[in-house]
Structure 1
Amino acid sequence: MSYELTGLEGKIAVVTGAGRMRSIGRSIALELAKAGCDVVITGSGRSPDAFPDDEKKAGWRDIESVAEEIRALGRRALPLISNVADLEAVKLLADKVVQEFGRVDFVINNAGAARAGDRAPVVDVDPVAWRNVIDVNLNGSFYMSQVFGRKLIEQGEGGAIINISSVGGKLMAPSTAAYAASKAGLHALTAAMAGEVGQYGIRVNAICPGIVSTSRLDDLSPAQWEAIINTYVPLKRAGAPAEIGSMVVYLCSKQGEWISGQFYSVDGGQVAGR
């Protein structure tokens, strides 16, 4: 006899930022589909010219490829280009989701700003880079939480909002002020909203990944990352994207229904005790 997570079959999940081949968003979408959810996936509409070499070689088609994988698992998929940092675009996204599926159950705010000049000391960081990180990581999650939160309240059947944060929002390391501030702000958004919508049976939590094997690690060599991991990660390896996805599935499941307002580090032990 096996132990199974329940309460996921036929539910509608929205996962933002789910188009990259080596990414947390794609894995979240696939794990939810494996658990029985139909999944809406969003991407920013990246130009194929900007795809990493491995995506080009694979003939990758961003959210369309992920949608095909979801359908291959026997679930419905709706791929939509959307900008989470644009409130009107988020409202349009919510309307399309309800039009297509009639409801929404789980909202996973995973879309994140690409590293682009923001990893610098506060006295040096470009204000444009700062605003971009805050706009996508924090404001985007706020817009999604507000618009879809209203839908969840109207439905009156509970649900879950999960913000994909980072251990960076707890470490608050030098030269990461924009990123760390966006993620620490996301923790405040998570906690405050959890206290507001709990009365409607809606849970709000954050997951804080550590070093995960995605295309975001391409900025350093494998040897450089290995040295960082061996120094800071007690389990001595990077996480797999699916390990973040499985945490999302648990928090959305019936078994996770009494958990809200938390910031879970899923990081191989890198940030212990907080």
Structure 2
Amino acid sequence: MKAETIFDLTGEVALVTGASSGLGARFAQVLAANGAKVVLVARRKDRLDALCAQIEASGGQAIAIEADVLDRAAMTVAFDKAQSAFGPVTILLNNAGVAQTARAIDMTEEEWRRVLSIDLDSVFFWAQEGARRMIAAGRKGAIVNTASVLGFGVSKGVAAYAVAKAGVVQLTKALALELATKGVRVNAIAPGWFVTEINQTFLQSEKGREIERSIPMGRFGEDGDLDGALLLLVSKAGSYMTGASIIVDGGQTVVLG
């Protein structure tokens, strides 16, 4: 089968959380460029509208929906609007998340709960809703969760984030096991260090340059480095894959052990 056929997403409806910037915005553009109708979800509606316009200018189809991933009512509305505009969601990309840097002994209960709620709890509830709807519609589907290399090895100052992302890896496996016979595949992408809006100041610091030097490939992730993994997991190319976490990190986990 030719690549343009096996990775073709024509007829698919993809919902992307955290789509207003960073990896989420890139994921949405890649999905649209390969034929999917894309539903952009985040809190910053102005950013979503701008991205929606970019996708449409490139010949794609997209709608923007403002929602906080912790708001269960807004989640239901988002899926309803997606279905009304394009049909049932067949690809769900759980990408919304927050970063955290604080030593464990200094972390407040509020900060711990905030990180776990956004980075883990929301992944479960959006995946649960997405899977229920895929099954009800009688459609095969793909759920992709954004994990992290810090779900496999830790460094100082990221306890809550690392625990949440390790939970995403295990949640991906648990959901994959339960949903395999229902025609819903569940996988994860575990990126290493990618320069995004939320971390660019830190990665441009001396500590950031030290991290960059420690990566075996000698650089941070760039636009396009996650495209192949994403397309593999959501397309016919990955039709026999479920429960997997694909690490894309320039060799960082080799260092983390």
**TM-score, length-scaled by structure 1:** 0.87
Q: Distance in 1 between matches of 2:212 and 2:203?
A: 12
What runs of 5+ residues in structure 2 fail to find an aligned partner?
A: none
**Which residue of the partner structure matches residue 110 of structure 1?**
95
Unaligned stretches of 5+ residues in structure 1: 47-60
1:129 aligns with 2:114: no
Query: How is 1:16-55 mapped onto 2 (pairs within 5 angstroms)?
Result: 16-20=17-21, 23-45=22-44
1:138 match: secondary structure: helix
Q: Tell me the TM-score normalised to structure 2 length.
A: 0.93
Write the distance in 2 (CA, Å) between the matches of 1:85 and 1:168: 22
Q: Deviations over 1:13-61 (max 9, x none)?
A: 00111112xx100110001111111100111137xxxxxxxxxxxxxx4
Instruction: Find the counterpart in structure 2 of residue 258 from structure 1.
Output: 240
Distance apart, 1:2 and its partner CA: 6.3
Structure-2 change in CA distance of 1:62 and 1:181 (3 Å): same
1:156 is the counterpart of 2:155? no
1:206-261 Cα deviation digits (max 9, x unpaired):
11100112113323252522321111x11111111332233211211101111110
Tell me the distance in 1 between the aligned counterparts of 2:11 and 2:195. 30
Give runs of aligned pairs for residues 181-196 of structure 1, distance below 5 A.
181-196=163-178
Contact 2:8 2:34 in 1 (8 A): no
Give, in whole Å, the separation in 1 of the partners of 2:153 and 2:34. 32
Structure-2 change in CA distance of 1:223 and 1:130 (3 Å): closer
Query: How many corresponding residue pairs?
Result: 254
Contact 1:28 1:246 in 2 (8 A): no
Shift of 1:88: 1.7
Spell out structure 1 runs of 4+ moving beyond 6 A.
none
Name the counterpart of 1:140.
122
Matched, 1:243 2:225: yes
Residues in 1 aligned to 2:72 and 2:169: alpha-carbon distance in whole angstroms: 20
Query: 2-side partners of 1:257 and 1:201: how far apart?
Result: 10
8 Å CA contact 2:42, 2:69 repeated in 1: no
